[in-house]
Structure 1
Amino acid sequence: MLPVRRRIRHGGRNLLRETRRPVVSTSTTETRGSDFARLAQRVSDAGLLDRRPVYYAVRISLAALAYLGGWAVFAWVGDSWLQLLVAAAMAVVFTQLGFVAHDLGHRQVFRTRRPSDVAGLLIGNLGVGLGWGWWTHKHNRHHANPNHEDHDPDVSPAVIVWSEDQVARSHGLPRFIAKYQAYWFFPLLTLEAWHLHIASFKALLKPSAKRRGPELALLLTHFVLYFGLVFTVLPWDKALVFLLVHQGLFGIYLGVSFAPNHKGMPVLTKEDKLDFLRKQVLTSRNVRGNPFTDVALGQLNYQIEHHLFPNMPAPNLRRAQPIVQRYCAEIGVDYLQTGLVESYGQALRHLHEVGAALR
């Protein structure tokens, strides 16, 4: 059963916004269930699910060198406002390491769990101060039900609200923000890194947390070294500004890398009964790639392919894109690909429309 939807113009194409009267889907479950299997066979035959050990060896080595080199430059520059440039550079390095941790969480780098976990903990917890185990679990829940109001933690109404139903149920700060949340979105991203740090600690303080001891020890070690180095090299005023710039830009970079992927795409509810392929494709948006965009966004601009094949090594996503796009055209599934700037426009317009009732 699928809900009847009314068409809305969105970014030069039609997207679907839900109403509540269900109708029978035009394709059977049996037919739709086999669609992904046929696509997976094509992708597998092209060798795109094969591991890329040389690529990841080079990528991780370059990221590690940039990380260690950045802190060496920080120590060399010393007591100077030029450290704000170092803060900006380290925000880029931290985000790139976050992309590597993301790939490790999806088992794109190693086939087995143990080396993926070890590398993920070293990069995530110790390197950038994010609870890798907690974030990976949350991110896998997102992959299982992207843009689903009830099951995707990335569209839970914490501060930003993502649907009109969430606006109707909102109160307090989310309701205050929702009125003009499109204008609040980018300023709020300056707090995103701090939010992830705090959420990591909160998750690890729960008795049910897996690997609680090692993860917490690595996370604490990161912040002892991080704050210790910053406040040892810089006087307190420059240190505070460095922290604000570094963590603020880190949060913005993370936010602008993930926002184009799903924000402004259809939000699903329990009434939506979609097979795996349609659930992933219809809620995801691709950003047209080029070498710079691919590196800057950690190749997550091929979001549709990534959601269909989350364990596909990142450098293979670009090659998979035309295969997936052609296949979606063959079976009549909408496939959205747009430019980077337009992807932000679509996301912001959606946030603004969601809050319209409060205006």
Structure 2
Amino acid sequence: MLPMLRFSWTGQSVQWVFKENQMEYKVYQRNAFWEQATIVGHWAWVFYQLFLLPTWPLRVAYFIISQMGGGLLIAHVVTFNHNSVDKYPANSRILNNFAALQILTTRNMTPSPFIDWLWGGLNYQIEHHLFPTMPRCNLNACMKYVKEWCKENNLPYLVDDYFDGYAMNLQQLKNMAEHIQAKAA
């Protein structure tokens, strides 16, 4: 199902952009035109490139493979970053502490030049959640400050290599299944 997430997220992005005119926050209303224009421009460019391919079956196959391949990659990193950490109930006090919430509910993948390139900076998920508008190329430099802040405030800084993170991901899925099974019994 991971490759299918690209279609879901794309649909949600398009819906969001075209609802911005009616949102209560002025910043969304102010940016709506340009966001709408750029998303239309993006998809016009995508479909123009598809049009350049020689046959309809090739166009359709290329579109599906490229979108699902992109979906697999982005969902792969998102599941590593989010599914391997503890979950908190909707009434948890942690929801009142933005920094702690972001730090405790995400995990970074151990950085390296290859991982940074492959994940496009999203392996720095803690920093991405704390500073969502920060350019990805700056997330690595920001990491040392966040680690230091976590240490000063007795918060864990969750960073693991690929295999350890996915092992924790599978363990978390097992824990949730056992929790649901126990509640059902």
Which of the five TM-score ranges fits, normalised by the shorter chain? 0.7 to 0.9
Counterpart in the other structure of 1:265: 85
Counterpart in the other structure of 1:32: none
Distance 1:208 1:348, change over 3 A: farther
> Is 2:184 the partner of 1:339?
no
Selected match of 1:349 from 166, 171, 176: 171
SS in 2 for 1:191: helix
Unaligned runs of 5+ in 1: 1-187
Counterpart in the other structure of 2:2: 189
**Pairwise CA distance, 1:204:** 4.1
Distance 1:251 1:335, change over 3 A: same
- Structure scoring higher RCO (CA < 8 A, sep ≥ 6) equals 1
What residue identity is the alignment partner of 1:208?
Answer: Q
What residue identity is the alignment partner of 2:129?
Answer: H
> Is 2:11 the partner of 1:198?
yes
TM-score normalised to the size of structure 1?
Answer: 0.41
Render the CA deviation track for 1:221-270: whole Å, top value 9, x for unaligned.
43344234314422112221111111111111211232222222122234
Counterpart in the other structure of 2:151: 329
Render the CA deviation track for 1:181-202: whole Å, top value 9, x for unaligned.
xxxxxxx121122222222333
Pairs within 5 Å for 1:54-133? none
CA distance in 2, matches of 1:221, 1:323: 37
TM-score normalised to the size of structure 2?
Answer: 0.73
**Pairwise CA distance, 1:326:** 4.4
Counterpart in the other structure of 2:22: 208
CA distance in 2, matches of 1:280, 1:242: 37
What residue identity is the alignment partner of 1:195?
Answer: S
Distance 1:230 1:263, change over 3 A: same
Counterpart in the other structure of 1:227: 47
CA distance in 1, matches of 2:138, 2:45: 36
Render the CA deviation track for 1:296-328: whole Å, top value 9, x for unaligned.
222232233343444555444333434433443
CA distance in 2, matches of 1:324, 1:269: 25
CA distance in 2, matches of 1:317, 1:220: 29
Render the CA deviation track for 1:34-63: whole Å, top value 9, x for unaligned.
xxxxxxxxxxxxxxxxxxxxxxxxxxxxxx
- Compare the two structures and name the one with the higher helix fraction: 2
Counterpart in the other structure of 1:254: 74
Pairs within 5 Å for 1:135-150? none
What residue identity is the alignment partner of 2:85?
Answer: M
CA distance in 1, matches of 2:14, 2:77: 23
Total equivalences in the alignment: 172
Contact 2:104 2:156 survives alignment (8 Å): yes
What residue identity is the alignment partner of 1:290?
Answer: S
Alpha-carbon RMSD: 2.9
CA distance in 1, matches of 2:8, 2:17: 14
Counterpart in the other structure of 2:109: 287
What residue identity is the alignment partner of 2:61?
Answer: V
Task: Give the stretch that moved more between structures: 206-215 or 238-247.
Answer: 206-215
SS in 2 for 1:289: coil
Counterpart in the other structure of 2:141: 319
What residue identity is the alignment partner of 1:351?
Answer: L
